[in-house]
Amino acid sequence: MKAVYAEENFKIGLRDIPVPEIRPDEVLIRMTYTGICGSDLHAYRGMHAFRKPPVMLGHEIAGEVVKAGADVRRTEPGEHVTVMPQIGCGCCAHCKSGRVNLCGNKILPGTAGWGGTFGEYFAAPESAVCGLKGVPDKLGALTEPLAVANHVMKRAALHPSGDLVILGSGTLGLMTLAIATSYGFTRVLVTDIADYNLEQARALGAVRTVNVAREDLEQRVKETFGEEGVSNVVIAAGGPQILEQALSITGRGGTITYFAMITCPMTLNTYPIVFKELQVQGSMNYTMEDFEDAVRLLKEKPECFERLITHVFPLEEAGKAFEILDQRKEPAVKILLRSE
């Protein structure tokens, strides 16, 4: 089958590899759509923590089950599914409490012998398969990033408030915005440095958008939410100043939820955390519950998520897709690869 690899830094290659063999507890999925994630771009640039070229990329998938192992019970060939791409060890305290995202020994696509999703077929254990329940495959490929956003919103909503600032409006920032009302946030301000993404944010209901490359964020936050600042902030972008930005706009007793994968060290003035008694919390991936929530959200408001898919390329043109994401020469939010 055809498979897309990051062969070396900034070089995508198409390989011909065997269709994966399935174990008794696994299903074989014929991929229809697979999304390119920010972490795939990291790997392409040679900056990913553990996915180093040469590596088969991809972990966001929708497709049709074409084969089921002997021990598979709930899933049948012909079913359209996505996959929650984390296999926990099953025996640690986190796995036992349903928080597979925190398992220290979990297996991810592109590691430990599990292939990536950027190929014509993908094998996955039945326990990681999530039915699309009528959501079309093209939208279904967004389940994984939407599950990330859902997990973030659940964490943010642990400290309820109506007001929210989302720093960054890439795919995940925009998805977080699209579901914010479902978590009780009624007024959302969104930032970015790309006008196209801010336009998308306005279309998705942001009460205000701020281009931080040319506007004063603190000032805009005060105009929107009052002198005190905002009570809830979600960090959905990297960048060296992003934490300082969040600390400066969050009001007393506020909450910052942080899920951007920033791997470089940064210095930080921590005084506002104490002075304003802030809660600063992380959000890591998702659980199967988030996947089920995400499928439901895709079904409830497909129009919010369809608009985020700006490009679709066949597997053969994956190199072009990565160039667009890397060089940002044209507006792009979510790029899908297809194989049909």
**How many of the chain's residues bind Zn ion (CB under 5 A)?**
6
Closest to Zn ion by CB, 207 or 262: 262
The verdict on 37 binding Zn ion (CB under 5 A) reads yes
Determine the interface stretch with Zn ion among 62-70, 80-88, 178-186, 273-281 (rule: CB under 5 A).
80-88
The verdict on 284 binding Zn ion (CB under 5 A) reads no
The verdict on 95 binding Zn ion (CB under 5 A) reads yes
What's the min distance (Å) between Cβ of 87 and Zn ion?
Answer: 9
Q: Which helix (H) or strand (E) holds 151?
A: helix 143-156
Residue in 58, 85, 88, 254 binding Zn ion, rule: CB under 5 A: 88
Determine the interface stretch with Zn ion among 16-24, 32-40, 210-218, 313-321 (rule: CB under 5 A).
32-40
Instruction: State the binding string over 103-142 for Zn ion (x if CB under 5 A, else -).
Output: x---------------------------------------
Closest to Zn ion by CB, 37 or 321: 37
What are the b/e assignments for 61-89, b being 16+ CB within 10 Å? Answer: bbbbbeebbeebeebeeebbbbbbbbbbe
The verdict on 92 binding Zn ion (CB under 5 A) reads yes
Closest to Zn ion by CB, 152 or 217: 152
Specify the DSSP class assigned to residue 109. Answer: T
Closest to Zn ion by CB, 19 or 288: 288
CA distances from 181 to 199, 251, 283 (A): 19, 21, 19
What are the b/e assignments for 194-231, b being 16+ CB within 10 Å? Answer: beebbebbeebebebbbebeeeebeebbbebbeeebbb
Closest to Zn ion by CB, 89 or 312: 89
Other Cβ atoms within 10 Å of 297 Cβ, number: 23
The verdict on 87 binding Zn ion (CB under 5 A) reads no
Residue 308, helix vs strand vs coil: coil
Do residues 187 and 225 lie in contact, with contact meaning Cβ atoms separated by under 8 Å? yes
What's the min distance (Å) between Cβ of 34 and Zn ion?
Answer: 10
322, two tokens: 């990565």
Closest to Zn ion by CB, 88 or 115: 88
Determine the interface stretch with Zn ion among 102-110, 184-192, 237-245, 293-301 (rule: CB under 5 A).
102-110
The verdict on 337 binding Zn ion (CB under 5 A) reads no
* Tokens 């899908």, located at residue: 336
Residue by residue, DSSP assigns 175-215 as HHHHHHGGGT--EEEEEES-HHHHHHHHHTT-SEEEETTTS
- State the SS3 of 127-140: HHEEECCCCCHHHH
The verdict on 89 binding Zn ion (CB under 5 A) reads yes
Q: For binding to Zn ion (CB under 5 A), which residues are involved? A: 37, 88-89, 92, 95, 103
